[in-house]
Amino acid sequence: MSLIARSFWTLAPGRGAVCQQALTDPGPDAVLVRALASGISRGTESLVFHGQVPGELADIMACPMQEGAFPGPVKYGYSLVARVERGPEGLAGRRVFVLHPHQDWAFVPADACRLIPNSVPDERAVLAANMETALNLLWDGGAAPGQRIAIVGGGIVGCLAAYLAARLPGAEVTLVDLAPERADIARTLGAGFALPAAAAQSLAGTCDLVIHCSASETGLATALSLAGTEATLVEGSWYGTRPVAAPLGAGFHPRRLRLVSSQVGMVSPGFRPRWTHARRLDKALSLLADPVLDSLLGPRLTLDEVPDAMISLDRLPFGCPVIRYEAINNP
């Protein structure tokens, strides 16, 4: 059995296209899925699109069902929501989340399909990969009830981290961002909000946990300034090939700050003996049941609009860009 699929490819740094490719049925261990929606990661996918994946990290940064190689041509993405059109009992006809690039039809391994709870609509489900990252950030930071927690950087991952932290009993959670309009988003998510200058006055040196998600040197400096004595700062940003100056002088050593890297490719060490990647992703999907998270969904695109959108991704309105699919093939 074969059919023609359409997918987004980065052909070379800064240049993308929607390409067609013939799919061949790989056999009984694969299921056929029809895409309903997929989400674009503004951070990682922008770095991939602009050719900023370091060569030495190419293997680590490859997504599970990527085709091609960095810097291109490469088919990259990892937030696909689909319906199983042909598969085993228990999967056939069900909605699933797959770590797969942006593509309208695909054959994928059955064990790569994670069932989407009925309480999570299609478009909100595209946030699963980002929710998984936010969950790992809190695990890496040892987030606990009652803590004073600051999240610096109000992108999608930062907002999801703030949402999760705000649900810890007694936690005082503040989202810190340069954009004043993020204040409404923070309130919707149950967190406080502060501009960096205001945070520097009200929170400096008082936080038990700081999570940095702004992917900027100034954001990192702000995050370090908010951490209290012997507090933990989790670095959740990925900078690609950009060098970053971290201000580790002044009070960094006297305050005995703990700087921790976090990357979703590995389950947080304290959870790794008991949690698989699949279990963590299932948990992330279940955490998307709250309708307030629709506030994190951004512009809706067709697959054909993606090449132009990727060029100006940082200028699109706030929120995770969502690709909507229409079935144009009949397998």
Torsion over CA: 256, 257, 261, 262 (sign): positive
* Region at 80 (left for phi over 0; alpha for psi -120 to 50; beta for the rest): beta
Contacting residues for 28 by C-beta, under 8 A, at least 6 apart:
none
Q: Is the pLDDT of residue 175 over 60?
A: yes
3-state secondary structure of 203: coil
Query: Across the chain, how many H-helices and E-strands are there?
Result: 10, 17
Spatial separation of the C-alpha atoms in residues 184 and 203, rounded to whole Å? 20
Reported as a single tens digit per residue, the pLDDT across 245-281 is 888 888 899 999 999 999 999 999 999 999 999 999 9
What band does 154 get if pLDDT is binned at 50, 70 and 90? very high
The pairs formed by 15-21 with CB atoms below 8 angstroms and a separation of 24 or more are 15/72, 15/307, 16/49, 16/306, 16/307, 16/310, 16/311, 17/307, 18/303, 18/304, 18/306, 18/307
Note whether 322 and 126 are within 8 A (CB): yes
N-to-C CA span, the chain: 8
Q: Model pTM? A: 0.95
Handedness of CA 198, 200, 205, 210 (dihedral sign): positive
Task: Give the SS3 label for residue 300.
Answer: strand
Asked whether residue 60 carries a pLDDT value surpassing 70, the answer given is: yes
Do residues 64 and 100 touch, judged by C-beta distance below 8 A?
yes
pLDDT in tens, 105-132: 999 999 999 999 999 999 999 999 999 9
Residue with tokens 């909507």: 324
Residue 325 has pLDDT above 80, yes or no: yes
Q: Residue range 91-99: average pLDDT?
A: 97
Q: Is the dihedral of CA 287, 289, 294, 298 positive or negative?
A: positive
